[in-house]
Structure 1
Amino acid sequence: MLLILHAALTWALLGLILTIQLVHYPLFSQVSEATWPAYEREHQTRITVLVGPLMLAELLSAVWLLLRPPPAVPVWSLWLGLALLAVIWVSTGLVQSPLHGRLSRAFDAHLHARLLYSNWLRTLCWAFRVGLCVWWLWLWLGLGLGTG
Structure 2
Amino acid sequence: MTLLVAHLVLTAAYAGFQWTVRGLVYPQFRQVPPDAFHAYERAHQRLIARVVGPLFAGQAVTTLWLLAARPAGTRLLPVLAGGACFAAVLAVTALVAVPLHRRLDAGWDAAAHRALCRADTVRALAASAGTAAAAWAVLAAQG
Q: TM tier, shorter chain?
A: over 0.9
| Equivalent position of 1:105 in the other structure | 106
Instruction: Name the counterpart of 1:76.
Output: 77
Aligned partners of 2:45 and 2:60: how far apart in 1?
21
Give the secondary-structure state (helix, strand or coil) at the position aligned to 1:70.
coil
Corresponding residue number in structure 2 for 1:134 = 135
The percent of aligned pairs where both chains have the same amino acid is 33
Cα distance, 1:103 vs. partner?
0.2
Gaps of 5+ in 1: 143-148
What SS does the aligned partner of 1:71 have? Answer: coil
* TM-score, normalised via structure 1 length: 0.91
The one-letter amino acid paired with 1:43 is H
Matched ranges for 1:1-148 at <5 A? 1-142=2-143
In the aligned structure 1, how far is the partner of 2:6 from the partner of 2:42? Answer: 31
Distance of 2:4 and 2:33 partners within structure 1: 44
Structure 1: how far apart are the matches of 2:8 and 2:91? Answer: 21
Contact 2:74 2:137 in 1 (8 A): yes
Larger Rg: 1
- CA deviations over 1:11-41 (Å, ceiling 9, x no partner): 1001100000011101100011121100000
Aligned-partner Cα distance in 1 for 2:77–2:139: 16
1:113 maps to a residue whose letter is R
Instruction: State the match for 1:145 in structure 2.
Output: none
Q: How large is the Cα RMSD of the aligned pairs?
A: 1.1
Q: TM-score normalized by structure 2? A: 0.94
Quick check: which one's helix share is greater?
2
Q: Distance in 2 between matches of 1:84 and 1:25?
A: 22
